[in-house]
Amino acid sequence: MSPDPLASRLIGELVARGLTVATCESLTGGLVGATLTGVPGASAAYRGGLVTYASDLKGTLAGVDPAWISSHGVINARTAEMMAAGCARVCGADLGLSCTGVAGPDPQDGEPVGTVYVCARLGCPDRSPDHRGDPLRLDLSGDRWAIRDQTVSAVLQAGLRVVAGTS
């Protein structure tokens, strides 16, 4: 199997800029990290990742505020943003990529299947900590695999948009 073209582009852009990346994944269960590490030479940019499939792990591993989770659940833009910031911090990376959502078969936190939030957050030392991509809401369709696959692509695209903004 060949490396994913989006992942290859993202790794290439990160390496060219001397930046590193970490991931925090929920519904994809590690597919974003696996896709990135499928690129030859990914170790020059990929620091590692957190798979926070269970809601409580978003707090204990990624630093998402447990009070926020209790009040708002985990399927929302702010959770995705905190997950991206948390994985970058924990893994010592410049760029944090995250995704949280509902792949099905049942709704979660009052959100229907296919509701997904992705975030790419960049906070490198020579830039303002506010230099980041806004979390994005996606309304995806298909079965679990299709939703997860579309989510991986959306996360990689979000990362590319943010990294391209560092020029």
With CA atoms as reference, report the closest residue to 21 among 5, 35, 4: 35
The string over 88-98, giving b where at least 16 C-beta atoms fall within 10 Å of a residue's C-beta and e elsewhere, is: bebbebbbbbb
Confidence of residue 167 (pLDDT cuts 50, 70, 90): low
With the CA atoms of 20, 40, 6 and 34 taken in that order, what torsion angle do they form, in degrees rounded to the nearest 10? Answer: -80
- Side chain identity at 147, as an amino acid letter? I
The full 3-state SS of the chain, as one line of letters, equals CCCCHHHHHHHHHHHHHCCCEEEEECCCCCHHHHHHHCCCCHHHCEEEEEECCCHHHHHHCCCCCHHHHHHHCCCCHHHHHHHHHHHHHHHCCCEEEEEEECCCCCCECCECCCEEEEEEEECCCCCCCCCECCCEEEECCCCHHHHHHHHHHHHHHHHHHHHHCCC
More confident residue, 103 or 127: 103
96-113 pLDDT, tens digit each: 999 999 999 999 999 999
Domain architecture of the chain: domains with CATH: 5-164 (3.90.950.20)
Reported as a pLDDT band with limits 50, 70 and 90, residue 132 is: low
Share of the chain above pLDDT 90, in %: 90
φ, ψ (nearest 5 deg) of residue 98: -140, 160
Tell me, what's the pLDDT at 126? 43
Predicted TM-score of the model (pTM)? 0.94
Q: What is the pLDDT of residues 12-54, one digit of tens each?
A: 999 999 999 999 999 999 999 999 999 999 999 999 999 999 9
Which pLDDT score, from 0 to 100, does residue 128 have? Answer: 44
Q: What pLDDT is recorded for position 24? A: 98
Tell which wins on pLDDT, 126 or 80: 80
> Strand 95-101 vs strand 115-122: parallel, antiparallel, or unpaired?
antiparallel
- pLDDT computed for residue 165 by the predictor: 82
